[in-house]
Amino acid sequence: MSLIECKQLTKHYIRGAEQITPLQQLDLSIDRGRFVALMGPSGSGKTTLLNLLAGIDRPSEGELIIDGNQIHTLSRGKLAQWRSMHIGYIFQLYNLIPVLTAYENVELPLLLHPISRKERHSRVASALEMVGISDRHEHYPRQLSGGQEQRVAIARAIVTKPTILLADEPTGDLDRETGTAIMELLKQFQTEQNQTIVMVTHDPQTTDWADTLLHLEKGKLAEAVTS
Partner 1 sequence: MRLIKVIPTVFKQIMRSPIRSFLTLGGIAVAMFLFVMVESMRTGVREATQATANETTLVVYRKNRYCPFTSRLPQYYGDRIERIEGVASVVPMQIHVSNCGASLDVVTFRGVPKDDITSAMAKDGTISDGSIETWKQRGDGAIVGSSLAKRRGIKVGDRFKAAGITIFVAAIQETSKAQDRNVALVHLPFLQEAARKGGTGTIVTQFNVQINDSTKLQEIASSIDETFAHDEHPTSTFSETAFVGRAARDIVHLADVAGILAWGALAAVFALVANAVVLAMRDRVRDHAVLQTLGYTGWLIGWMVLLEGASIALIGGLVGGIAAFIAVRIGQFTMTMEGVNIEMASGPSAVIAGIVIAFALGLFAAVIPALRLARTDIATCFRAV
Q: Which stretch binds partner 1 (CB under 8 A): 65-73, 86-94, 129-137, 179-187?
A: 86-94
Judged by CB under 8 A, does residue 60 bind partner 1?
A: no
CB of 57 to partner 1, least distance (A): 5
Nearer to partner 1, 148 or 207 (CB): 148
Does residue 136 belong to the site contacting partner 1 (CB under 8 A)?
no
Stretch that binds partner 1, among 27-35, 80-88, 184-192, 217-225 (CB under 8 A): 80-88
| Pairing state between β 196-200 and 212-217 | unpaired
Which one of residues 34, 72, 123, 156 is an interface residue with partner 1 (CB under 8 A)? 156
Using CB under 8 A as the binding rule, whether residue 20 contacts partner 1 is answered as: no
Size, binding site for partner 1 by CB under 8 A: 27
**Residue 25 in contact with partner 1, rule: CB under 8 A:** no
Q: Which of 33, 56, 187, 202 binds partner 1 (CB under 8 A)?
A: 56
From the list 20, 112, 222, 224, which residue makes contact with partner 1 (rule: CB under 8 A)? 112
Quick one: three-class SS letters along the chain?
Answer: CCCEEEEEEEEEEEECCEEEEEEEEEEEEECCCCEEEEECCCCCCHHHHHHHHHCCCCCCEEEEEECCEEHHHCCHHHHHHHHHHHEEEECCCCCCCCCCCHHHHHHHHHHHCCCCHHHHHHHHHHHHHHCCCHHHCCCCHHHCCHHHHHHHHHHHHHCCCCCEEEEECCCCCCCHHHHHHHHHHHHHHHHHHCCEEEEECCCHHHHHHCCEEEEEECCEEEEEEEC
Binding residues for partner 1, rule: CB under 8 A, are: 51, 54, 56-57, 76-77, 80-85, 87, 89, 91, 95, 97-100, 104, 108-109, 111-112, 114, 156
